[in-house]
Homo-oligomer: A and B are copies of this chain.
Amino acid sequence: MIGFIAAILTTLSFVPQAWQIIKTKDTSGISLGMYAMFVVGVFLWLIHGWNIQDYAVIAANGITLVLASIILAYKIKYK
């Protein structure tokens, strides 16, 4: 149960960040390096989840990948 709640929190935590960045377009404090590394890492988690056929890992990282990619795209566009 704790792992499930942990996954929900760490996955959905990117929603307020994506929402804020879409609304304000303020990306000054955000690290391009972080989100570049993080997006690649989450993509690899997605592949790992597929390899071990773990749908929780696939779902959590699929959602996180979309959110983190939005943040990365805004950071690149509105440096």
A contact set with B: CB distance below 8 Å: 2-3, 5-17, 19-21, 24, 26-31, 33-35, 37-38, 40-42, 44-45, 47-48, 51-52
Contacts and interface: CB of A to CB of B under 8 A. Distances in A.
- Taken together, the copies of this chain in the complex come to 2
A33 B5 CA distance: 17
B37 A2 contact: no
Give chain A's interface secondary structure class. Answer: helix
Contacts of A6: 41-42, 44-45, 47-48
List of 7 A-B pairs having minimum Cβ-Cβ separation, nearest first: A9-B41, A16-B33, A6-B44, A10-B41, A13-B37, A17-B34, A13-B38
Contacts of A24: 29
